[in-house]
Amino acid sequence: MGNKKMKSKKNIDGNAFLLLITIVLFFAMYIIGVIAFHQQGFGKTQNFLNLFISNAGLIVIAAGMTVVMITGGIDISVGSVVALTCMMLAWMMENKGMGAIPAAVIVLVMGLVFGFVQGWLVAYLKLQPFIVTLAGMFFARGMTAIISQDMISIKNEMFLSWAKYKIYLPFGGYVNRKGVMIYPYIYPSVIIALLVLVVVFIMLKYTKFGRSIYAVGGNEQSALLMGLNVRKTKLKAYILAGFLTGLGGFLFCLNTCSGFVEQAKGFEMDAIASAVIGGTLLTGGVGNVFGSLFGVLIKGTIEAFITFQGTLSSWWTKITIAALLCFFIILQSIFASAKAKKKK
């Protein structure tokens, strides 16, 4: 009995506590939103689903970011890669007359290759992940400008049909003024995003690869002594993240249906912040993709606040996210130092 009690106490350590804070914070913010913006319909089911619709790409990218961050690395190139993805999609379909399917495949492969190169540099040449992905960030943004300096809008019918295909949910509807029942809807991108989330979650939790990612991030030296191939694991993590960034960029593009140089600027911040807010440790070894989902949802809620409020400028989103990130990394740091003291 006493043993069990101790165990359950041990389970709620700093990291789980951080995740708990995040989940509570999200619900608290949402409830505040519902109360404050009651008249504008903040509490509608559709509004909640919009959080997923507008952030489908970010959910996928944050999942990839979480994987990389668990290995102890980081990827700050994602924002630029998203811009590159959108630009490539737009350019291939509009200027080269490619079909939507081959364009999508090429973009995904591009993400994979990008992840491979960065992963190789990090894992095999042991360069600092930050420097590598910082260069990657400028490289991808520059490539976007090389492809086209002007904005390209996507008019490909197939692509637009993907983007506009509404899936109505059979519940949560309301009756509008004309007496017609209106059901809330989602786009296919949301389903893809959630599917990816579940797959990555299962992979991290139940496969050998997933466990070795945690092992490498927890303590590289130990993992090496245990006989894990640290380099290969890291490389694979970056490849996976690269692929997910490509996919996330594709989903992002379904929302914007255009490609331009300044697109998705500061996106890397959103992804990193989502992961950190969701309880992923910057030092590696700890993290959970569902935590990152809540991180994304918090970011979405802040954006929704600003939209509903109407008078605040959009920079507030960035500043708030940065402040939140700052708050959470300081919390992490405090927990870490408390833990270190305990050990002594």
Provide φ and ψ at 208, rounded to 5°.
-65, -40
Q: In the bound complex, what is the minimum distance in angstroms from residue 196's beta carbon to another protein?
A: 25
Q: Is 338 in the site for another protein (CB under 8 A)?
A: no
Q: Which of residues 221-260 bind another protein (CB under 8 A)?
A: none
Integer Cα distance of 26 and 30 in angstroms: 6
Q: Is 329 in the site for another protein (CB under 8 A)?
A: yes
SS3 259: strand
SS3 185: strand
Q: Is 127 in the site for another protein (CB under 8 A)?
A: yes
Integer Cα distance of 180 and 182 in angstroms: 6
Helix axes 78-90, 129-147, angle to 10 degrees: 20
Beta carbons of 190 and 52 less than 8 angstroms apart: yes
Q: In the bound complex, what is the minimum distance in angstroms from residue 149's beta carbon to another protein?
A: 6
Q: What is the DSSP-derived secondary structure letter of residue 95?
A: I
Q: Is 330 in the site for another protein (CB under 8 A)?
A: yes
Q: In the bound complex, what is the minimum distance in angstroms from residue 189's beta carbon to another protein?
A: 24
Q: Is 315 in the site for another protein (CB under 8 A)?
A: yes
Beta carbons of 271 and 58 less than 8 angstroms apart: yes
From residue 133, give the alpha-carbon distance in Å to each of 114, 224, 230, 287: 10, 24, 19, 20
List 2, 97, 313, 341, residue binding another protein (CB under 8 A): 313
Q: Is 339 in the site for another protein (CB under 8 A)?
A: no
* Amino acid identity for residue 199 in this structure: V
Residue closer to another protein (CB basis): 134 or 194:
134
Draw the binding track, 102-121, toward another protein (x: CB under 8 A; -: no contact): -------------------x
Q: Which of residues 48-107 bind another protein (CB under 8 A)?
A: 74, 76
Q: In the bound complex, what is the minimum distance in angstroms from residue 336's beta carbon to another protein?
A: 8
Q: What is the DSSP-derived secondary structure letter of residue 149?
A: S
Helices (H), 40-167: 45-54, 56-70, 78-90, 100-123, 129-147, 157-164
Q: Which of residues 129-168 bind another protein (CB under 8 A)?
A: 130-132, 134-139, 141-146, 149
Considering only the stretches 16-24, 158-166, 243-251, 324-332, report the one whose residues sit in contact with another protein under the rule CB under 8 A: 324-332
Residue closer to another protein (CB basis): 27 or 124:
124
Draw the binding track, 261-300, toward another protein (x: CB under 8 A; -: no contact): x----x-xx--x---------x------------------
List 13, 99, 101, 128, residue binding another protein (CB under 8 A): 128
Question: Torsion angle of alpha carbons 191, 193, 199, 204, nearest 10°?
Answer: -150
SS3 152: strand
Considering only the stretches 122-130, 181-189, 196-204, 242-250, report the one whose residues sit in contact with another protein under the rule CB under 8 A: 122-130
Beta carbons of 107 and 250 less than 8 angstroms apart: yes
Assigned token pair, 97: 């007359």
Q: Is 326 in the site for another protein (CB under 8 A)?
A: yes
Q: Is 8 in the site for another protein (CB under 8 A)?
A: no
Assigned token pair, 116: 């491979």
SS3 181: strand
Binding site for another protein (CB under 8 A): 74, 76, 121, 124-128, 130-132, 134-139, 141-146, 149, 261, 266, 268-269, 272, 282, 313, 315-316, 318-319, 321-323, 325-326, 329-330, 333, 336-337
